[in-house]
Structure 1
């Protein structure tokens, strides 16, 4: 829940010299991507309050691919806008593609514990978008659920809504890529770590790490805006 000048000051104090941000409006609407320029070249392509799309060139391997960082609105009308935008992106490129973030939606009953039953229509819309984008769930190791409402046991809910997907071209580039759900601390979401592969991690002396802060703003545009 940070934006504007304060966000830039926080980023300056971190060990990342490259960043793309969608700033907050009040207490909502923020996405950050942070990276080290010595490791990769990142070029922003398009953004809305729910998504950032960028091309990634990993310097150690000279590979280029597309990354989409997502925060899906809990509002049905706005998430449908995002699903449509992702389908547009899918038809505009033929690159290896990694899509990850907070999708605010589960695909099946196994991804939820407690609360109301999974809304089948919403889950099918989500699945339809992923299918049209030719996305594969990269799976995970670690805790089964990535979010909790932190309520008492009688109304406690757990869900797996933070996910990583890729198309088959990206998966062929990084067949050893592993997604790990790290333990939650004081947040309602657990951090998610992606290690692309052992050879690249060893070459860089560290794994590729994705960091994101996501918030919500109600006035989402209906099309992907080119930057």
Structure 2
């Protein structure tokens, strides 16, 4: 069965997914290892670069929220994308999944 796993993973894959603050290298490696072992696909995020901010004067941003999808889903829906929407009142932006037209 095709499947999707989405949510706030509370870590980034690499330093390019974080701005304004350091990252935990061990956490990044573990997350990358999880993605590899599960054989899931981290599809690109469109619309925004980061999904979370701390809203402080010295702001930090990170891509914490995402959808990971099974390879079978890609074969069924080759045009699947995830799109981030900015401007929410939360510290997390909304990330939606759908098909590009």
**Fold shared per TM-score above 0.5:** yes
Contact 2:51/2:61 (8 A) holds in 1: yes
For residues 139 and 100 of structure 1, the distance between their equivalents in structure 2, rounded to whole angstroms, comes to: 13
> Residue 172 of structure 1: which of 45, 67, 75 is its match?
75
Distance in structure 2 (CA, Å) of the matches to 1:171 and 1:137: 11
Q: 1:150 aligns with which of 33, 55, 62?
A: 55
Structure with max Cα Rg? 1
Distance (Å, rounded) in 2 between the aligned partners of 1:134 and 1:156: 34
Deviation at 1:127, TM superposition (A): 1.1
Partner Cα distance (1:134, 1:140) in 2: 19
- Match for 1:121 among 8, 26, 51? 26
What is aligned with 1:96?
2
CA-atom RMSD in angstroms: 1.3
Number of residues paired by the alignment? 101
Shift of 1:184: 2.5
Unaligned runs of 5+ in 2: none
Q: TM-score if structure 1 supplies the norm length? A: 0.43
- For residue 100 of structure 1, give the secondary structure of its aligned residue in structure 2: strand
Give structure 1 regions of 4+ aligned residues with deviation exceeding 3 angstroms. Answer: none
Structure 1 gaps of 5+ residues are 1-94, 199-227
| Alpha-carbon contact 1:144-1:160 (below 8 Å) kept | yes
